[in-house]
Structure 1
Amino acid sequence: MTGQEVADRLAIHDLLARYCHAIDQHRWSDLRALFADDARVDFTAFGGPLGDADTLIAFLKPVVEGLAGSYHSTGSVICDFDGDSATVRSAAHVVMSSRGADGGEQHDHIGLWYEDELTRADTGWRFAKRTQKRAWVSTILS
């Protein structure tokens, strides 16, 4: 593995982490900056949009901001490089908490795979295409 490939892998892990934190902290302009201008998304596996990054953010914003809390994390990252492009597959665990009328919380745990096509930009690696693949869903009431 070359030094450049090590640096690229670290930068891609950083991109994936920034994606998770931007959503959970409701930093929508930071999230948008992680996508190429012409990026495409397919979040239909869980009823989300098929379209561009702005469509994704318009969908996510009211959903996430309406929650009591959320937690996104990624791992098991595999990267394949072709010059200034990369194909990346990662596992993700998402927890979304909502409050019921009785004050109790419901925690939805979602397991999914992200299949990404990335492009190297002047500002670093960016999502050119991001696709969700469903793995599992579990709900816990407390």
Structure 2
Amino acid sequence: MTDQHLRDRHDIVELCTRMGWHLDHCQWDRLTDLFTDDIRLDYTSLNGGEPVVLSRKDVIAKWRGNREGLAATQHLISNQLVEVDGDRAAATAMFQATHLLPNQLGGPLWTLAGEYRYGLLRTPDGWRIEALTMSVIWAEGNRNIRDLAVQAD
């Protein structure tokens, strides 16, 4: 394994971890630097439909709208595997995302767990996420808090 391969792997793991960290801490400006201009998102395992390509501005605005009505979120990302092929890479990670919103209409927590698959591109500014697929393996709790959080804004 070369030094460059180890640096690439480190940078990619750090990048993918920062995605959850900045989202949980509502650091919207810091999320911008993690993505290419356009991102292919595939959340079909949760929402149905088809994958979409959105600008990073639109992705962050969507995540912000979903997050800001909640009291807190916590994205735990682990078991990261990285494959680098020149200026492109693929990474996988297990995740558990807990969402908190105390409310009078049900439990305060909704937790999703599954796998993220990242498509990455090496740019002059470093690695960036150009594709993200979320595959839900299990969920528990009150999914309705997602809608309640959006209504609260």
Secondary structure in 2 aligned to 1:99? coil
After superposing on structure 2, the runs of 4+ consecutive aligned residues of structure 1 that deviate more than 4 Å are none
Give the structure 2 partner of residue 123 of structure 1.
125
Q: Does 1:44 align with 2:33?
A: no
SS in 1 for 2:70: coil
Which ranges of structure 2 fall in alignment gaps of 5 or more residues? Answer: 143-153
1:114 maps onto 2:150 in alignment = no
Q: Distance in 2 between matches of 1:46 and 1:55?
A: 19
Report % sequence identity. Answer: 29
Write 1 or 2 for the structure with the bigger share of strand. 1
Which residue number in structure 2 is paired with residue 85 of structure 1?
88
Instruction: Decide whether the 8 Å contact of 1:44 with 1:50 is kept in 2.
Output: no
Instruction: Judge conservation of contact 1:97–1:105 (CA < 8 Å) in 2.
Output: no
SS class of match (1:37): strand
Post-superposition offset of 1:105: 5.6
Paired residue total: 139
Q: Which amino acid aligns with 1:36?
A: T
| Matched residue SS, 2:26 | coil
Partner SS for 2:63: helix
The two structures, once aligned, show a CA RMSD in angstroms of 2.0
* TM-score, length-scaled by structure 1: 0.88
What is the SS of the residue equivalent to 1:20? Answer: helix
Distance in 1, Cα, partners of 2:22 & 2:101: 19
Contact 2:40 2:132 in 1 (8 A): yes
Match for residue 101 of structure 2? 98
Secondary structure class of the residue paired with 1:11? helix
The more displaced of 52-61 and 84-93 is: 52-61
Q: Check whether the contact 2:99–2:110 (CA below 8 A) recurs between aligned residues.
A: yes
**3-state SS, counterpart of residue 18 of structure 2:** helix
- Using the TM superposition, give the Cα deviation of residue 128 of structure 1 relative to its aligned residue in structure 2, in angstroms: 1.2
